[in-house]
Amino acid sequence: MLTKRIIPCLDIKDGRTVKGVNFVNLRDAGDPVELAAQYASEQADELVFLDISATEQKRKTLADLVLRVAAAIDIPFTVGGGIISVSDVEILLKNGADKVSINSAAVKNPNLIDELANQFGSQCVVVAIDAKQINGQWKVHLVGGKVPTELNLFDWAKEVESRGAGEILFTSMDHDGTKQGFANEALAQLSEEINLPIIASGGAGKVSHFMDTFTYGKADAALAASVFHFGEIGIPELKKELKLQQVAVRLDG
């Protein structure tokens, strides 16, 4: 049976993890490679690296990091943050990234989705969508949720699917950082209207939130950052609990 995925997200700036990380057994909590290896050993199913640096060196630094991550870990990982062109993607995939995530660039230039899908295959194209509710309507936002657009979440998700994306990473800006649970109603509607895997993001605070997003939210995967980084939820414990509650998860050996 296909299992539900648990995905820690690492924010990266200038090649280092950004948010404080509270792992007692890491020598260098700021080293994304060491943190990635730790998560892989704890049976995280996948990793997402989100580069938020804005320097001119950014591309090279990120490409170098991808190479070091690929050398160290044997689970799939996605890289996102500031990707705007086919050539950006080419170097990241060549260096060992399994998937790339595009967000604002896809809204500004939807053809990028088609180009990436045609050149590299849909399987490596994740479109990240940040949205929040305005007057009861889910509106897509850009630049990390700062800039509102007129795009409706569900319309945009359908377009993304038809252009050849392989997966959607949906972050609810209304839920992100609240630790009150994922946007399960919108997630369930996405799963009903879209025939792509959906990653839930924004709102993870406790184990039951994951349970809820996999059942009520019909999510295929759940992404979180701080609850994992600060050790508030351990991935093995989370997976054991999900399994007890009859959610299919990978818990090997």
As annotated, the active-site residues are 11, 130
Considering all CA atoms of the chain, what is the largest pairwise distance in Å, rounded to the nearest integer? 49
Residue 34 binds to other proteins (criterion: CB under 8 A): no
Give the CA count within 13 Å in the CB-facing half-sphere of 181: 14
Encoded one letter per residue, x for contact with other proteins by CB under 8 A and - for no contact, window 149-178 reads -----------------xx-----------
Minimum CB distance to other proteins, residue 88 (Å): 16
Give the pairing type, strands 167-172 and 198-201. parallel
Minimum CB distance to other proteins, residue 108 (Å): 25
Residue 89 binds to other proteins (criterion: CB under 8 A): no
Ramachandran quadrant class, 82 (left: phi over 0; alpha: psi -120 to 50; beta: rest): left
Give the residue with the Cβ less far from other proteins, 131 or 219. Answer: 219
Q: Cβ distance 182 to 174 under 8 Å?
A: no
Residue 98 binds to other proteins (criterion: CB under 8 A): yes
Q: What does the alpha-carbon distance between residue 161 and residue 102 come to, in Å, rounded to a whole number?
A: 13
Give the residue with the Cβ less far from other proteins, 13 or 163. Answer: 163
| Number of CB atoms found within 10 A of residue 104's CB | 20
**Candidate list 5, 13, 58, 239; residue touching other proteins; CB under 8 A:** 5
Minimum CB distance to other proteins, residue 44 (Å): 10
Q: Cβ distance 4 to 212 under 8 Å?
A: no
Residue 24 binds to other proteins (criterion: CB under 8 A): no
Residue 95 binds to other proteins (criterion: CB under 8 A): yes
**Looking at this protein, which amino acid is placed at residue 129?**
I
Residue 76 binds to other proteins (criterion: CB under 8 A): yes
Minimum CB distance to other proteins, residue 202 (Å): 20
Give the residue with the Cβ less far from other proteins, 95 or 201. Answer: 95
Minimum CB distance to other proteins, residue 250 (Å): 4
C-alpha R_g of the chain: 17
Helix (H) or strand (E) holding 149: strand 147-152
| Cβ-count burial 57-82 (b if 16+ within 10 Å, e if not) | ebbebbbebbbbbbeebebebbbbbb
Residue 246 binds to other proteins (criterion: CB under 8 A): no
**Candidate list 160, 221, 238, 242; residue touching other proteins; CB under 8 A:** 221
> Which residues in this chain contact other proteins in the complex, by CB under 8 A?
1-5, 40, 43, 45-46, 67, 70-71, 74-76, 93-98, 120-124, 166-167, 191, 195-197, 220-221, 250, 252-253
